[in-house]
Amino acid sequence: MTDASAIARAIGFAPSRLRDAWMPLPASATDVELVDAIRRGQGDGIARLVERYSPRLFSYLSRLLDDPTQAEDVLQEVWLRVMERLDGYDRNQPFVVWLFAIARHRAIDLFRERSRQTRHLGFPALPQETEEGELLEPLDLVAADSPSPLDRLAEAELEERMGAAFRLLPAHYREVLSLRFHQDLRLEEIARLLRVPLSTVKTRVQRGLVLLRRRAEGLGLSGHE
Amino acid sequence: MNDHDRIRAALAGVAAGTLAPDDNLRAHLAACSSCAAELERFRRLAVAVERLPQAELSPAALGRMKRLAIARREAVLEHRWNRLVLTGLILYGWALFAVIAPLVPVGVDWVSQRLAMPWFAVVALALGLWWSFCLVVGLALLPVLRAQSFDLEEKVL
């Protein structure tokens, strides 16, 4: 089948090759405009799209997979899949949600290839948690009468503790907090991406924050003993 | 769960922006310093999460992503073009066959008279020549096809 392309290229007619448009795409081109440009065969649309979303996707995948090396491999596969499926993209759906959904599915595939364990190895479950880190009882907040350990930590140390505590969260809490706080996605977009009701997203964000606080205070307490 | 406990349970949602504080909550926070302090702690936690350092993609990796994406898109377009051409060739072949089919018995009869051969021998000879032609053309194009697939692999890698 490829001989048709060889003949076409030999005579200077190659509709299968990308080309640069005579007028470059504007810097403010929207995602849909870039997708349309790529569908018309403009190569610079691909470069612009990759530049625009690779940092965000890499950040998201790094948080989700907790491994920057694997995140880079997955990101590579994501872009290959995007290029294959771009013609099937529905313009009525936000492009960022469609893109992150592809990344998420690839990350889930990777999770399935790994162990099924979702909790960080070595971190014991608290009495009121399941092995998945889900809270069994209503929120048990730290009493506010005494100063919280968080109050005693300097800001830099707080960030360090936060980073360590964040990595200890179960994957589904890490994911939703990352999408909410790092990717600037609206709650409705997150719900669409995760294919869960909006109320579930809100609950996960709320519980994730509470669990993160527990992890952080647990790390902070152990440091002050 | 009393009103105080219910409000305490909602503070994480308020800090995360998933829950809008109503008048009841605002009034309670204004009156209860411990709950107000708790909300402030959750807000600090949310800010700390936002400030977590982000993993950065190296420029070399970004450049590689672009090249791979462009190569894959070209491969997709090439595959689509090849399918289009193949479909066109198949349709052309069938159209040609439909046009010349009535003339085949006339042609076979004419050739068999000229060569003094029975009609089935003429048909066998014609098929043999046609298949030989296809074999020669296929063998001639084989190096080109192999070079094409190698180029594609090189581009993707």
Per residue in B29-62, pLDDT (tens digit) is 888 888 899 899 889 888 888 888 888 899 999 9
Query: Using alpha carbons only, what angle is made at residue A149 by residues A148 and A152, rounded to the nearest 5 degrees?
Result: 105
Using CB atoms, pick whichever of A1, A3, A46 lies closest to residue B73: A46
Q: Which residues contact A216 (CB under 8 A, 6 or more apart)?
A: A150, A158, A161, A162, A165, B45
The pLDDT of residue A215: 84
Residue A29 has pLDDT above 80, yes or no: yes
Half-sphere exposure of A98 (CA within 13 A, CB side): 18
Q: Which residue of chain A is at minimal alpha-carbon distance from B146? A: A2
Q: Is B45 close to A86, i.e. CB distance below 8 A?
A: no
Q: Would you give the DSSP letter of residue A19?
A: B
A91-116 burial, b at 16+ Cβ within 10 Å, e below that, comes to: eeebbbbbbbebbbebbeebeeeeee
Q: What is the pLDDT along chain B (157 residues), one digit of tens a residue?
A: 567 777 877 888 999 888 888 888 888 888 888 889 989 988 988 888 888 888 889 999 999 999 999 999 999 988 888 888 889 999 999 999 899 889 888 989 999 999 899 989 999 998 999 899 989 988 888 887 776 655 555 554 4
Residues in chain A: 225
For residue A218 the two structure tokens come to 């647990």
Q: Measure the CA–CA gap between A79 and A82, rounded to whole angstroms.
A: 5
The pLDDT of residue A128: 46
Q: Which residue of chain B is at minimal alpha-carbon distance from A4? A: B82
Confirm if A187 and A198 have CB atoms less than 8 A apart: yes
Give the CA-trace dihedral at A221, B1, B7, B10, to 10 degrees: 70
pLDDT band at A140 (very low <50, low <70, confident <90, very high): very low
Residue A79 has pLDDT above 90, yes or no: yes
The pLDDT of residue B1: 53
The alpha carbon of residue B34 and the mean position of all alpha carbons in its chain are separated, in whole angstroms, by 55
The pLDDT of residue A152: 58
Q: Is A54 close to B65, i.e. CB distance below 8 A?
A: yes
Tell me the mean pLDDT in the region A54-61. 93
Q: Is B81 close to A205, i.e. CB distance below 8 A?
A: no
Q: Nearest CA to CA, how far is A112 from chain B (Å)?
A: 23
Beta bridge partners, A135, equal A129
The pLDDT of residue A155: 65
The pLDDT of residue B154: 52
Q: Measure the CA–CA gap between B97 and B77, rounded to whole angstroms.
A: 30
Q: Percent of chain A, pLDDT > 70?
A: 68
Q: Which of A13, A83, A202 to mutate to test the interface with B (most CBs of B within 10 A)?
A: A83
10 Å Cβ neighbour count for A146?
A: 8
Rounded to two decimals, the pTM is 0.70
The pLDDT of residue B151: 53
Task: Work out the burial of residue B101: count CB atoms within 10 Å of its CB; fewer than 13 is exposed, 13-18 middle, 19 or more buried.
Answer: exposed
Instruction: Please tell me whether residue B108 adopts helix, strand or coil conformation.
Output: helix
pLDDT band at A218 (very low <50, low <70, confident <90, very high): confident
Tell me the mean pLDDT in the region A109-132. 55
Nearest to A38 by CA among B86, B59, B66: B66
B106-130 burial, b at 16+ Cβ within 10 Å, e below that, comes to: eebeebbeeeeeeeeebeeeeeeee
Q: Would you give the DSSP letter of residue A24?
A: P
How far CA B62 is from CA of A18, A202, B68, B95, in Å, comes to 19, 34, 10, 49
Instruction: Please tell me whether residue A135 adopts helix, strand or coil conformation.
Output: strand
The pLDDT of residue A221: 42
Q: With residue B156 as reference, give the H or E element that holds it.
A: helix B119-156
Per residue in A145-197, pLDDT (tens digit) is 445 556 555 666 767 778 888 988 888 899 999 999 998 899 999 999 999 99
Q: Measure the CA–CA gap between B10 and B25, rounded to whole angstroms.
A: 9
| Identity of residue B1 | M
Residue A25 has pLDDT above 90, yes or no: no
For residue B1 the two structure tokens come to 């769960």
Using CB atoms, pick whichever of B8, B55, B73 lies closest to residue A62: B55
Tell me the backbone φ, ψ of residue A19, rounded to 5 degrees. Answer: -140, 160
Interchain CB contacts (distance < 8 Å): A and B: 166
Residue A120 has pLDDT above 60, yes or no: no
Pick the more confident residue, A115 or A41. Answer: A41
The pLDDT of residue A80: 95
